Structure 1
Amino acid sequence: MSLDNVVEDIRGEARARAEEIREAGERRATEIIEEAEADAEELLEAREADVERQVEQEREQALSGAKLEAKQQRLEARRDVLEDVRSRVEDELASLSGDRREELTRELVDAAADEFDESDDVVVYGRADDAELLEDVLEDYDGFSYGGEHDCLGGVVVESESSRVRVNNTFDSILEGVWEDNLKEVSARLFDQ
């Protein structure tokens, strides 16, 4: 065998080996590319799912926030309406006059008088505009005297130093009790609950 033949055989084997290595390299490159594409696809799907979850979560948060804000606005509007109704009631009570005001004032003094002994010196306070009315009403009660003004819508505050009793029968205090006791019903009527 000649040297040329040996060289040619080695070259042939080298070419064959190079071809095998090239083919193996191409197969491996193809596998790597396919794996990379699969990984990229999985990563893309995962990112899309994450983005969709995040978008849904943000949408839910925005919707929840909007619902909460709407509820707060509704509650504020209701509170404003209730405050307006109460203010109107207070205005009506403050503007009562004539026989109706006298009748209510007498009933409130009567109710307070039951809390005191006949021997007590009792002082009655009321709205400044009701001073004359109170002095007239108190003429019917022994030991009762007008003590001056009390900041209120009407009615009386009655007290005695000797018994240390104080009765608040003002329109304000009665309205407060009635308002608290009936707020749910008033709200239901106003807002059709």
Structure 2
Amino acid sequence: MSLQTVVEDIRDEARARAQEISDAADERAEEIIADAEADADQIREEREAEVERTIEQEREQRLSSAKLEAKQARLNARRDILEDVHGDVEDALAALEGDRREELTRALLDAAVDEFDDSDELSVYGRASDQSLLEDVLDDYDGATYAGERDCLGGVVVESNESRVRVNNTFDSILEDVWEDNLKAISDRLFEDQ
């Protein structure tokens, strides 16, 4: 074997070994690139999912906020309507006249007087414009006198001179009691379609 042949064999072996190393390096580089691309894809997918979650959360928050604002607006509108209805009822009570006003005033006075002893001297207060009506009605009651005016829509406030009892049977107080007791029913009736 000649030196030339040995050199050629060594070179061939070195080239083959270099090719193996190069092929292994290329293969490893491809694996690293594939892993990096896979990692990049996973990171991108995670980021996209995170962005989607954030977008969905913001959308849900905005939707919830809009629903809450709409509900609050509806409640405010309902409250305003109920206040208007209450005001209309007050106006209607204040505007009562004639026999109907006398009938209601007598009924409220009767109910108030029933709370006192027959021997009690009673002071009766009412709306200033009802003074004449009250004085006429009080002619039918022994021991009861018109004592002055009260700021009210009508009806009576009766006090005993002998005790510290006061009965408030004004249209205002009756309206408030009825209103409070029936507010849900009133609201349901007004807003039954909603």
* TM beyond 0.5: yes
5+ long unaligned stretches in structure 2: none
| Identity score, percent | 72
Q: Secondary structure of 1:146's match?
A: strand
Task: Describe how 1:60-75 pairs up with structure 2 within 5 A.
Answer: 60-75=60-75
Structure 1 residue 49 displacement after superposition: 1.9
User: Aligned partners of 1:2 and 1:122: how far apart in 2?
Assistant: 148
Q: Which residue of 2 aligns with 1:128?
A: 128
Aligned residues: 193
Structure 1 residue 163 displacement after superposition: 2.5
Structure 1 residue 96 displacement after superposition: 1.1
Q: Secondary structure of 1:18's match?
A: helix
5+ long unaligned stretches in structure 1: none
1:82-110 CA-to-partner distances (Å, cap 9, x unmatched) read 11111000001011122221221111111
User: Aligned partners of 1:161 and 1:62: how far apart in 2?
Assistant: 64
User: Aligned partners of 1:192 and 1:54: how far apart in 2?
Assistant: 39
Are residue 180 (structure 1) and residue 185 (structure 2) matched? no
Are residue 189 (structure 1) and residue 185 (structure 2) matched? no
Deviates more, 1:42-51 or 1:120-129: 42-51
User: Aligned partners of 1:7 and 1:123: how far apart in 2?
Assistant: 138
User: Aligned partners of 1:125 and 1:8: how far apart in 2?
Assistant: 133
User: Aligned partners of 1:9 and 1:129: how far apart in 2?
Assistant: 133
Q: Secondary structure of 2:123's match?
A: strand
Q: Which residue of 1 aligns with 2:76?
A: 76
User: Aligned partners of 1:137 and 1:168: how far apart in 2?
Assistant: 17
User: Aligned partners of 2:7 and 2:148: how far apart in 1?
Assistant: 134
User: Aligned partners of 1:148 and 1:25: how far apart in 2?
Assistant: 111
Q: Secondary structure of 1:117's match?
A: coil
> What TM-score does the superposition give when structure 1 sets the normalisation length?
0.89
Task: Describe how 1:1-193 pairs up with structure 2 within 5 A.
Answer: 10-193=10-193
Q: Secondary structure of 2:151's match?
A: coil
RMSD of aligned Cα (Å): 2.0
1:108-146 CA-to-partner distances (Å, cap 9, x unmatched) read 111111111122111111112222222222222111122
Instruction: Tell me which amino acid in the other structure corresponds to 1:141.
Output: Y
1:147-181 CA-to-partner distances (Å, cap 9, x unmatched) read 21211111111011312211110001111111122
